[in-house]
Amino acid sequence: MSDSIVPQGETLSSGWEREVPVDDTLIRRAVLLHASWAAAVPESLGRPFARTERWSGGFVGDRGELTNPIIVTQPVTSAGRFAELLGEVGEIVPPRAPYFLLSPFPTPDLTPYGLGLIGHPPLMVRFPGDAAPDLRPGVELIQVADADTLAVAERVLVEGYPMPDLLPLQPGSILAPPLIGDGTTRVWLALVDGVPAAVAAAHVWAESVLVEYVASLPAARGRGAGAAVTWAATTCRPDLPAFLVASDDGRPLYERMGFVALERWTAWLRPAADSGRVGE
């Protein structure tokens, strides 16, 4: 009898090889959906990005802790191989700029490489279900379709998230018209009594929806604006599952919308250099 139950010469799939279908598992679908988004934002801004077998992301800007998302797309368990991955990221993101690294897989300790562990946020999914509830009184919902409205949505995102490191805001720093040009990414703006109040985005890829960039201005919270844009993004393709990565504080809100937690991912942050701006 052979010492191995695997026939000689046969390799078992890990589920993460390039040839594995995107919809092999819900987790694979979520990972590759995030990879598409992480490349779409810098590409829309005309800035450097990359999609490799091991990671996806790009350089959006030199300020803001969450400005430059990097998503790991394959298990990389050894410190040496992770060092190689971070070296590749460093060829895209300048050395003085921050980046936010999200890994669906366990990681080695990355503190020797200048990153700090910031948490294990839950990946959540909502399967097709009930339609969005009616808007609350005073709330108006707009799907962004032009550069001027997109600039307003960008301001709400930066001030509402908040992203103070991006202030003062230069329009087009995060949201540029090419991002919404082909319909793959859609952005919604909610007004409360005619005043911009909340924003959310949806990225549709591989028969899935990624809900991103959800933010509300403090003065409008509790008025239903944040819920309105989140529902709009979540149900923009009512026939498809919607994914998001939540915070522990935000998780109960999404659970009330019908989202369920699948697993926890790992988030690391490389902060910006203390002095100067990239490119100066």
Please write the tens of the pLDDT for every residue from 183-197: 999 999 999 999 999
Q: What is the pLDDT of residues 146-183, one digit of tens each?
A: 999 999 999 999 999 988 888 888 899 999 999 999 99
Least confident of 4-13, 105-114, 158-167, 265-274: 4-13
Inside any domain, residue 7: no
| Other CB atoms within 10 A of residue 206 CB | 17
The pLDDT of 79-97, averaged and rounded, is 95
Same domain, 130 and 253: yes
The pLDDT assigned to 1 comes to 44
Q: Which residues pair with 260 in a beta bridge?
A: 125
Residue 5 pLDDT exceeds 80: no
- Examine residue 1 and state whether it is found in any structural domain, yes or no: no
Q: Is the pLDDT of residue 118 over 50?
A: yes
For residues 155 and 257, state if they share a domain: yes
What is d(CA 180, CA 133) in angstroms, rounded to the nearest whole number?
25
Dist. CA 245–CA 266, nearest whole Å: 11
Structural domain total, the chain: 2
Helical (H) or strand (E) element with 117: strand 116-119
The amino acid at 118: I
Please report the pLDDT score of residue 10 as a whole number.
66
Tens-digit pLDDT profile for residues 15-32? 888 889 999 999 999 999
Tokens of 73: 């797309």
| Mean pLDDT, rounded, for 98-120 | 96
Write down the pLDDT at residue 278: 41
Instruction: Give the three-class secondary structure for 201.
Output: strand
CA distance 128 to 137: 26
Check whether residue 114 and residue 230 sit in a common domain: no
Same domain for 144 and 26, yes or no, is no
Residue 252 reports pLDDT greater than 90 = yes
**Is residue 255 domain-shared with residue 156, that is, in the same domain?**
yes
* Residue 28: partners with Cβ closer than 8 Å, 6 or more residues away: 15, 16, 20, 22
* Structural domain of 111: 22-120+266-270
Q: Are 81 and 47 in contact (CB under 8 A)?
A: no
10 Å CB burial of residue 192 (0-12, 13-18, 19+) is buried
Model's pTM, two decimal places?
0.91
**CA–CA distance, 108 with 204 (Å, rounded to integer):** 31
Residue 14 lies in a domain: no
| Same domain flag for 114 and 146 | no
pLDDT for the residue 66: 82
Does 86 share its domain with 188? no
Note the pLDDT tens digit of each residue in 62-71: 988 888 999 9
Residue at 9 is within a domain: no
Q: Is residue 278 domain-resident?
A: no
CATH number assigned to the domain comprising residue 175 = 3.40.630.30
Look at residue 244 and tell me if it is in a domain. yes
Residue 276 pLDDT more than 70? no
Residue 219 lies in a domain: yes
- Contact call for residues 49 and 39 (beta carbons, < 8 A): yes
Q: Could you tell me where the DSSP H helices lie in 74-195?
A: 79-90, 147-160
Residue 81 maps to a domain: yes
Could you tell me the end-to-end alpha-carbon distance of the chain, in angstroms, rounded to an integer? 67
Mean pLDDT of the residues in the chain: 92
Q: How many CB atoms lie within 10 A of CB 198?
A: 29
Tell me what pLDDT residue 251 has. 95
* 40 in the same domain as 65: yes
Residues 144 and 101 in one domain: no
On whether both 104 and 133 belong to a single domain, the answer is: no
- Consecutive H or E run containing 101: strand 99-103
Are residues 46 and 152 located together in one domain of the fold? Answer: no
* Pairing outcome for strands 266-270 and 116-119: antiparallel
- On whether both 138 and 219 belong to a single domain, the answer is yes
- pLDDT at 220 (0 to 100): 84
